Amino acid sequence: MKITDLKINNSNIKLGIDTAYPVFSWLNKSKETGKEQSAYRIIVSSSPEKAEKCTGDIWDSQKTTGENNYDISYKGEKLKSKTQYYWRVMIWDEKDGPSPWSETAGFETGIMAQDQWQAKWIGKPGMKIQDRYSVLLRKEFAVKNKVKSARAYICGLGLYDLKINGKNPDDTLLNPAHTQYEKTVLYKRV
């Protein structure tokens, strides 16, 4: 049996996971009929090298009996904000035969606690939530050193269109989803 389509929180989006205890899922593929999963083992590692060595230094589920391959809850220590993690899974079939390990998948946590937000609301001077007009906000800055990686966590009351050097950083439009702003304000990470 081959393990494919590794997902976290039922999504292919692996950036900005903002739950301390995410859920894992995968697909089992086999050319033989009647093959079934009887157990699984998930490891979560702090580096791709440790994941490749099947060392779950963050969490190791050990061999867990079960046919379920979706919504498997992470049960390790609470994950840290803005941290990269790597995971793999292996399964056992109905005859207790082990599969090879899956490919290594990665995910990055988002901001997990209210007090970790460092940004401030920006807008037109005197603007209030009740004001319903479009505003163009723009910030130019120069980067002096080579950028290895960067993240933007963006929240807007209404819709926004983020561009970096005149280009969209992903393939989404009209972010974030609409909510009742007095109760919930969503953010997007790119």
Higher pLDDT, 119 or 129: 119
pLDDT digits (tens, 9 = 90+) for 59-68: 999 999 999 9
Q: What is the mean pLDDT of the chain?
A: 87
Summarize pLDDT for 9-57 with one digit per residue, the tens: 988 878 888 888 999 999 999 888 889 999 999 999 999 999 999 999 9
Its pTM stands at: 0.79
Mean pLDDT of 80-100: 95
Mean pLDDT of 111-120: 80
What is the predicted pLDDT for the residue at 163? 83
Q: 36 and 87: one domain?
A: yes
CATH of the domain at 93: 2.60.40.10
- Residue ending a domain, among 71, 86, 109, is 109
Q: Within this chain, do residues 89 and 149 fall inside the same structural domain, yes or no?
A: no
Q: What is the pLDDT of residue 130?
A: 62
For residues 127-152, average pLDDT: 76
In the chain, % of residues over pLDDT 90: 48
Is 114 part of any domain?
no
Task: Tell whether the model's pLDDT for residue 97 goes beyond 90.
Answer: yes
Domain membership of residue 8 as a residue range: 2-109
Q: So what's the pLDDT on residue 133?
A: 63
Q: What is the pLDDT of residues 122-136, one digit of tens each?
A: 666 666 656 656 677
Domain contains 42:
yes
N residues, the chain? 190
* Domain count across the chain: 2
